[in-house]
Amino acid sequence: MGFRLNYIFFYKLRNTLRMTGKSADLKNLKFYIHTFGCQMNNNDSEHIAGILDSCGANPSDSLEESDLVVINTCAVREKSEEKLYSLLGRLNSIREKKEKNFAIGVVGCVAQLHRSKLLEKMPHIDFILGPDNYWQIPEIIPKHHEEKIISTKWSKDWHEIPDEQTLRTSRVSAFVTIMEGCNNFCTYCVVPYTRGREKFRPAPHILTEIQELAQNGYKEIQLLGQNVNSYIDPNSQMGFVKLLRKVNTVEGIDWIRFIASHPKNFSTDIAKAMKESERICHQLHLPVQSGSSSVLHRMNRGYTRKEYQQIIKDLRRQMPDICLSTDIIVGFPGESDKEFQETMSLLEEIRYTNIFSFRYSPRPLTKAENITDDVPFAVKKERLIAVQELQKNIQIETNQSLIGSTIKVLCTGKSKKDQNIYSGRNKGYQVINFSSKKKVMDQFVNVQITSCGPYSLRGHTV
């Protein structure tokens, strides 16, 4: 049953609009979306749900009752691909046992990467759509009975999905995609082959969407893209810093974040714009991947340890309260003990609020796939444990320093078991679980922190 935990429930905020949608083809069709991977995928799933909804289909939180199952996939590591195959296997056995007859669509990065090979491996899939093609879903569904459909062609132009075709998972916190694709070709990364080259969403569309979100009561927005700081408006050539400053002027939005940034082109102007814009949270995810300049060079990251340290120094000079997070890969081909220790010492020095750490996993089409994956699995495992242990202790220390303080939290979740228990995040994007006698879902609250673990803070409303 594990996979259902990842199911996204969509709020239906636009019941009136959906009935005026352009197609009634899918009327009463029940769909279920399972999402693997990053926030970009979550936002894509919100678009898929919105497109289906605008054609008359209905989101369902029960697989058994659905007529269509869409799996939005992630290809970044082998493990996420393996999870897809196990989910597909399970869906097939449900369908074979005739417990339920549903159409199965695989969309997103794995669909793009493997295309027809995916069908050879899993012939029970009905359609395959790449990350640039999921908007074709309404045309495809009526045809899937006649033929298997594969559509994975990239387009150079931005395909705008209007806000009324987006079913969001939160009523207060919204993702807003501003760019897609990647030109960086880090040697370990499959994303440039699944998401294509960088393309940018026109700024007026971004700003209109954010204004509409503000009017609909949204309080937090997260600008999304594989590399947001390379943003350039395709028409006016306005860059990311100017975009940030414009987004900051939208009345009604309290917190603005953006993810992901690349250290290679993270200029001091961005830090300055963050400091000077009252709505932009002093929080940043800046993936470093490794603390060793020689590994960074082999990864084709385009910066050295020293340059990265300089960016962090500048960020902290401008915003002493900034909360930083990062991504770490251990066991990249050729990573020596000495090189690994440089990652450890960087973590000790920077003291991130949170990290995401991974064992290197060779991916198809990437340059690193052709270099021998020579760090033994046991060593990768040991290094991952070491990184996570070190970071855990750092987080315990930083979290303990917050005990007794009162923190502003945007409440975005509530416990199913106990109606007085809620969860949310603070400006620094830390997870806070708290109790409240009043109903506070989707609201800002002040929480007094009373205890903590390494990965979350606990408290009660005041």
- Footprint of ligand 5AD (CB under 6 A): 76-77, 188-189, 287, 289, 327, 329, 358, 360-361, 363
The backbone torsions φ and ψ at residue 256, rounded to the nearest 5 degrees and listed phi first, read -120, 135
- Residue 213, CA distances (Å) to 14, 164, 257, 287, 427 in order: 13, 11, 15, 28, 19
Nearest 5°: the CA angle 191, 374, 367 is 30
CB of 201 to ligand 5AD, least distance (A): 21
Which CB sits closer to ligand SF4, 232 or 403?
Answer: 232
Nearer residue to ligand 5AD within complex by CB, 40 or 432: 40
Nearer to ligand SF4, 298 or 414 (CB): 298
C-alpha distances in angstroms, 389 versus 84, 347, 421? 29, 11, 29
Q: In the complex, what is the shortest distance from the CB of residue 305 to ligand 5AD, in angstroms, rounded to a whole number? A: 16
The least CB distance from residue 12 to ligand 5AD, in Å, is 31
**Token pair in block for residue 91:** 């869906």
Helix extents (H) in 351-376: none
* Residue 163 falls in which region: left (phi positive, over 0), alpha (psi -120 to 50) or beta: alpha
Under a CB-based contact definition with an 8 Å cutoff, are residues 118 and 110 in contact?
yes
Closest contact distance (angstroms) between CB of 260 and ligand SF4 is 7
Minimum Å distance from CB 84 to ligand 5AD? 16
Rounded to a whole number of angstroms, the minimum distance from the CB of residue 285 to ligand 5AD is: 9
* 8 A C-beta contact, residue 53 and residue 12: yes
Shortest reach from residue 206's CB to ligand 5AD, in Å: 23
Residue 361 interacting entry, from ligand 5AD, ligand SF4, none, C-beta within 5 to 8 Å by type:
ligand 5AD
Compare residues 76 and 281 and give the one whose CB is closer to ligand SF4. Answer: 76
Q: Which does 226 bind (CB under 5 to 8 A by kind): ligand 5AD, ligand SF4, none?
A: ligand SF4
CB closer to ligand SF4 out of 149 and 328: 328
Shortest spacing between CB 254 and ligand 5AD, in angstroms? 27
| Nearer of residues 18 and 77 to ligand SF4, judged by Cβ | 77
Closest listed residue to residue 205, CA positions, set 167, 259, 163: 163
Q: Which is nearer to ligand 5AD, 60 or 177 (CB)?
A: 177
Per partner kind, with CB cut-offs from 5 to 8 A, the member of ligand 5AD, ligand SF4, none near residue 192 is: ligand SF4
The item of ligand 5AD, ligand SF4, none sharing an interface with residue 285, based on CB under 5 to 8 Å by kind, is none
Q: What is the SS3 assignment for 302?
A: coil
Cβ distance to ligand 5AD smaller for residue 263 or 424 = 263
Structure tokens at 461: 């409303």
Closest residue to ligand 5AD, based on beta-carbon distance: 327
- Work out what residue 258 binds among ligand 5AD, ligand SF4, none; the CB cut-off runs from 5 to 8 Å by kind: none
Contact by Cβ (8 Å): 92, 124: yes
Binding footprint of ligand SF4 on the chain (CB under 6 A) = 182, 184-186, 189, 191-192, 226-227, 262
Cα 57 to the chain's mean position, in Å? 25
CA-wise closest residue to 53 among 82, 25, 91: 25
By beta-carbon proximity to ligand 5AD, the closer residue of 74 and 161 is: 74
Instruction: Return the number of the residue (138 or 192) whose C-beta is nearest ligand 5AD.
Output: 192
Q: How many CB atoms lie within 10 A of CB 235?
A: 10
* CB of 340 vs ligand SF4, minimal distance in Å: 19
CB of 191 to ligand SF4, least distance (A): 4
- 149 three-state secondary structure: strand
Place of tokens 């991947």: 289
What b/e string do you get for 93-113 counting C-beta neighbours within 10 Å, with b at 16 or more? Answer: ebbeeeeeebbbbbbbbbbbb
CA 454 to chain centre: 22
Q: Are the beta carbons of 275 and 319 closer than 8 angstroms?
A: yes
